[in-house]
Structures are given as structure tokens and as C-alpha cells.
Amino acid sequence: MRTLWEVLARQRDYRLVLSAGLVSLTGDWILRTGLAFQVYVMTGSTLASGGLLLASFLPLVLLGSLAGVFVDRWDRRRTMIVTNVLHAVGLLPLLLVHDENQLWVIYLVILAQGCLQQFFRPAEQSLVPLLVEPRQLVTANSLNSQTNDIARLVGAALGGVLAAAGGLPLLALADAATYLVAMGLLLGVRHRPERVVAERARGVRSAVRGLRDEWVEGIRICVGGQAMRLVFVFGLVTGVGEGAMSTLFAPFVSAELGGDGTAYGLITSSQAVGGIAGGLIAAAAGPRFSAAKLWGFGAVAFGLIDLVMFLYPLFWDGLTPAFVCMIAVGIPGAFLTAGLMTVIQRLTDDASRGRVFGALFAAEGAALLVGITAAGLLGDVVGIIPVLVAQGLGFFVGGLVVLSRLGVLSPDASPAEVRL
């Protein structure tokens, strides 16, 4: 608890970044939840709703890796401020949407928002290690993992209410307001980089070549050393599983558990409860354990709980175990996220951290799309439960592999060694 207090009370800049992330993520959930409801009401088409998911994923796959290169060149704080402003301005076209004939405007806005997010996320993850002491990094990442759970609980509820009360205009204005508040918080951050990468004037070919070389360097770091290669493969395997989970969990609740839409919504949101509790536990106790152990044990426990949840309908009827499992899985999920983020931050140096995160996020997005596609094809062929069991096994086996390679992931492994 002492480290938790030190991070929240004494690290002013980190506290402002954490608060900005919480506010903007709440706005994201407001828009995401309300927009999904509003588009379906407007069109009555599940295909139109699926288009929202595609528009939000494409920037991650196509732009994520390249965006990280620019993040390494720019001041991270300034990047986060500018993207918040652009986020707010980019939502204004939603005020012009009145019926399904302007549906293309919604898709363009979501596409633009997704592109901006590819610059914000690597900048945030790269900035955090500069705002806290090394021994506080696990605690800081644990608190970061909590923000999405808290935002999910608050924003998802507000999104439905605002969609019903004022439709798209109110959703857009509410989300834009959160971005402006986040921008105000980031303006108060006093941290300034010790060095700024200055771009000298040069020809177009040279500039393009420089971007290409830095982009390739980010990918090379991800796959060129044992430790980062383990991070990369783990992200691919679990990303495919998460894609399958996002596709088949609603059918699982309906067909295997016999639940309705309300039950699905409550079961899904209940994971945030465990995530908040897990984040607090990891923030308080995390510094006593290595980040790699938090990652490994978190993944093993996450996979085991998922396996229990997906297999119990074969032996037991009822929804209660699903609620219990979803709450419980949030705790190791918080440990997994905090440990993994800390490992990545410690294995990379400040000059390349943005492009590494960008490459990892892009690979994760591609894996999610593969999982979504595979689950859609295999769900009817082999069944819902077997596909979801494979998701749980991915986390469980991945965690065991991480625990077997703790020597490679030790804090003594320097960024230089990662590139060997």
C-alpha cells in the first residue's frame, strides 16, 4: 500500500496522465455503447452494426505499427494533447447525422477516431515509465489497467442513457467534452523530454527511407530477441483467442447458458468488477513480485478460470457460475496486463518504445481479426464450447511458457540484449 500511496500522492504528472486516460476512456465507452445502440435503431441491420467494428479495427491493423515510429520522434505529452483536441473536433460531424442516409459519416468518424488512437496509446504507454520511479512501474501499470474497467462500468451505463435521451448529438458532445477535459489535465503535466528528436530538412526519398527503416527497426525489435519474441507470440496467440471470445461469447450465453440479452450484458460487464479489485491488489502488492511472474501467473489463472466457465455448462445448469467466473477472471487479468506492460517497458529503451508498442498493438489487432473470422467459421462446424476452450488454453499454456522462461525475462535483461 505504501507504493500505491507514493504513486498517487507524490507523482503529480503520473496522476494527471492517469486521470486524463480515465476521463477520455469513459467518453470512449459512452460513444461505443451509445453508437452501437443508435446505429441498430437507425438501420435495423446487424450488418451496419458490424461495420462499426470493422471501422474501429482497421486503423489498428493498418496504421498502428507506423504510428509508433512518429510517436518516437515526437514529444509524447504534446502528442497526447493534440490527439485529444483532434478527437474532440473529429466528433462534430456526428451532429449532422439524422438518418441512415448519413451512415457513411458515422463510419468515417469512427475510422478517424481509430487512426488518432494509434498515436495516443503508444505515446501513453511510452510516457508512463518516465513519470514514475522504476520500482513504482508495476503499480503504475496496475492503476492504468484499472482505468478501462472503471470507464467501462461508468461509460457503458451512461452511453445507453445518453443515446436514449439525446441520440447521436448528445453522444458526440459528451464524448468531445471528455477529450477536452483530458486535454486540460495533460496541459498540467510538467514533464518535458530531456531530448527531442530533431528532423533535419531532407528530400522526400530520404524522409520515406528514414520512416521505413525506423518502422522495420520496431518490427525487428519485436521478433529479434528471445524476450520480445515471447511477448510478440503471446500477443498473437491470445489475440486470436480474444477475437474468438468477442465473437462467440454472446452465442455462448444464449445457446449454452440459456441467458437473454440482459443476462449477457450483466455477465460481460461483471468482469470490470474483478478488474477493479485486481488492479488495486496488483498496485498494492505488485512491487513485491517480478513483473514477469505477475504476467505468467496471471495468464495461467486467467486461462484456468476461462476453462471452468466454458466447460461448466456440460455438467451444471444456471447462470450463477458464469457471473462468478467473470468477476474472478478480472483479478488475474489485471495482474497479466500490469505485468506484461511492465516487461515491455523494461525491455525497450525510450528511443524505440513507441514503435515497439505500435508494432505490438498492430499485431494484436490483426490477431483479433483472425480470431473473429475463425470463430465465425468454426463456431457452427466444431461448436461454440470447443472454440472457446481453445481460447482458455491459449492463455493457460502461454502463461506456463512465460513462467518457464523467467530467466530470459529477468529485470537484468537490458534493452540492448533484446535486440540480440
Contact 332, 305 (CB under 8 A): yes
d(CA 123, CA 354): 6
Phi, psi for residue 45 in degrees, rounded to 5: -120, 125
Distance CA(143)–CA(76), nearest Å, equals 20
Nearest residue to 137 (alpha-carbon basis) of 346, 418, 354, 357? 346
Residues 6+ apart with CB under 8 A from 193: 75, 76, 130
Sequential pLDDT tens for the chain (420 residues): 566 666 776 788 888 988 898 898 888 888 877 777 677 667 766 566 667 777 777 887 777 777 778 888 888 889 999 999 999 999 999 888 887 777 888 889 888 988 888 888 888 888 888 888 877 788 888 888 778 778 877 877 787 778 778 888 888 899 999 999 999 999 988 877 665 444 444 444 455 566 666 666 767 777 777 888 898 899 999 999 988 887 788 788 888 888 876 677 677 777 777 777 777 777 776 667 788 899 999 999 999 999 999 999 998 888 899 989 988 988 898 889 888 988 888 888 877 778 888 888 888 888 888 888 888 788 778 888 999 999 999 999 999 999 998 887 765 444 444 443
Give the separation between CA 91 and CA 84, rounded to whole angstroms: 11
CA quadruple 226, 227, 232, 237: dihedral sign: positive
Burial 94-117 (b: 16+ CB within 10 A, else e): beebeeeeebeebbebbebbbbbb
**Cα separation of 35 and 392, whole Å?**
30
- In one letter, which amino acid is 5? W
| Residues 305/329, Cβ–Cβ less than 8 Å | yes
pTM greater than the 0.85 cutoff: no
